[in-house]
């Protein structure tokens, strides 16, 4: 069997199948597992990349039946039961009896992919290092700038998206600007930085209870963040952001507003939701292809009681539990047993502000 993706869902599926009399191949374009909830701390120089990444092989070392293959999966042929791999030595196919697809999601700019060059998102270590570079470079540029207007633009930071990533980035950047860097420069005052958090919905952290959203807003504002809800970015370029009729001059913009599912979902021939995620069966399998399970950020699971058909959120807790469940269901199929419907246990959500 083949598992595509070494994130939370893929890793925990592999662990679930480890030690069982089946051959498992886990394929990922990187050879390390990334603890993505702490990416924002790498982006703000609080952690180094090595502190949130660990080799997948070391995490699966105890499972002799699991091998790890570093390759980019570029296609899936569900009829022939094989996935197409792109490696340095060229392209080839990897056959499977069962497939667990945990390829995750990427940034979504709502039809404006040209904004990506001016507003990087935060999904990978490379993204985090780019955000760190732009954030710290802005202060260096401001220190050397003699024109007041240009200096203010360098000291204005805009974060688009008020979910956990945007909130955590804004809080940490405000803390760094107003406290950590306060006495580090001679020509500028970093505590005078403007940090704006733009959220299109009515409140930040929309997946949290309203009381916590309001608490988060108050905490951000105490740190000096300008929180604007009901605010949509309509233009992003190298010099700033346009919000309706207002132009915000900012040389540093970060994107935390949306994600789109991996394009591999399109190869399955299944129904996709608006974000490109696969609408899965209650047991996480693909309709018409019970040998294929889709889990994590790539799955639109709409069968959770109490959610009235709304999909589960794309968070680590969901991915971990789905990975375990998919591994168990694949093992049940191998043994000729019926699968079990997935049910998500909500352990709670957390966002760290500053």
Neighbouring CB atoms inside 10 A of 330's CB total 28
Q: Known catalytic residue: 51? A: no
- Active-site residue, from 88, 91, 140, 168: 168
How far apart, in whole angstroms, are the C-alpha atoms of residue 217 and residue 203?
A: 8
Pairing, β 289-294 against β 285-286: antiparallel
How far apart, in whole angstroms, are the C-alpha atoms of residue 253 and residue 239?
A: 9
**DSSP assigned state of 126:** H
Q: Are 278 and 268 in contact (CB under 8 A)?
A: yes
Q: What are phi and psi of 293, to 5 degrees?
A: -115, 145
Measuring CA to CA, how many Å separate 212 from each of 206, 216, 347? 9, 6, 16
SS3 content of the chain, % helix, strand, coil (to 5): 35, 25, 40
How far apart, in whole angstroms, are the C-alpha atoms of residue 105 and residue 263?
A: 9
Q: Identify which of 140, 128, 144, 135 has the alpha carbon closest to the alpha carbon of residue 176.
A: 135
Pairing, β 252-255 against β 285-286: unpaired
**DSSP assigned state of 32:** E
Neighbouring CB atoms inside 10 A of 274's CB total 7
Q: Identify which of 304, 302, 300, 308 has the alpha carbon closest to the alpha carbon of residue 274.
A: 300
Q: Are 14 and 100 in contact (CB under 8 A)?
A: no
Return the active site residues. Answer: 168
């Amino acid at each position: 069997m083949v598992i595509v993706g070494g994130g939370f869902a893929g890793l925990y599926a592999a662990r679930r199948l480890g030690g069982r009399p089946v051959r498992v191949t886990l394929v990922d374009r990187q050879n390390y597992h990334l603890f993505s909830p702490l990416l924002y701390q790498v982006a703000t120089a609080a952690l180094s990349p090595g502190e949130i990444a660990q080799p997948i092989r070391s995490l699966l070392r105890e499972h002799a039946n699991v091998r790890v293959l570093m390759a980019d999966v570029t296609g899936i042929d569900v009829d022939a039961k094989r996935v197409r791999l792109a490696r340095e030595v060229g392209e080839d196919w990897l056959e499977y009896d069962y497939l667990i697809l945990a390829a995750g999601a990427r940034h979504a700019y709502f039809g404006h992919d040209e904004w990506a060059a001016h507003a990087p998102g935060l999904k990978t270590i490379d993204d985090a290092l780019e955000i760190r570079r732009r954030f710290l470079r802005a202060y260096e540029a401001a220190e050397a700038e003699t024109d007041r207007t240009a200096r203010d633009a360098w000291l204005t930071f805009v974060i688009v998206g008020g979910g956990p990533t945007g909130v955590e980035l804004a809080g940490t950047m405000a803390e760094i600007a107003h406290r950590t860097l306060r006495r580090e420069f001679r020509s500028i005052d970093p505590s005078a930085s403007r940090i704006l958090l733009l959220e299109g919905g009515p409140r930040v952290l929309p997946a949290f209870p309203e009381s916590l959203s309001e608490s988060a807003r108050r905490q951000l504002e105490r740190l000096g963040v300008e929180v604007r809800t009901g605010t949509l970015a309509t233009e992003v370029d190298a010099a700033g952001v346009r919000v309706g009729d207002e132009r915000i001059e900012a040389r540093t913009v970060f994107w935390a507003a949306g994600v789109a599912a991996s394009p591999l979902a399109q190869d399955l021939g299944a129904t996709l939701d608006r974000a490109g995620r696969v609408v899965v069966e209650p047991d996480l399998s693909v309709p018409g292809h019970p040998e294929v399970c889709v889990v994590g950020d790539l799955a639109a699971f709409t069968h959770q009681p109490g959610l009235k058909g709304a999909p589960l959120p794309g968070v680590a807790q969901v991915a971990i539990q789905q990975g375990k469940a998919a591994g168990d269901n694949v093992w049940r199929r191998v043994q000729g047993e019926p699968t079990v419907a997935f049910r998500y246990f909500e352990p709670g959500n957390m966002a760290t502000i500053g």
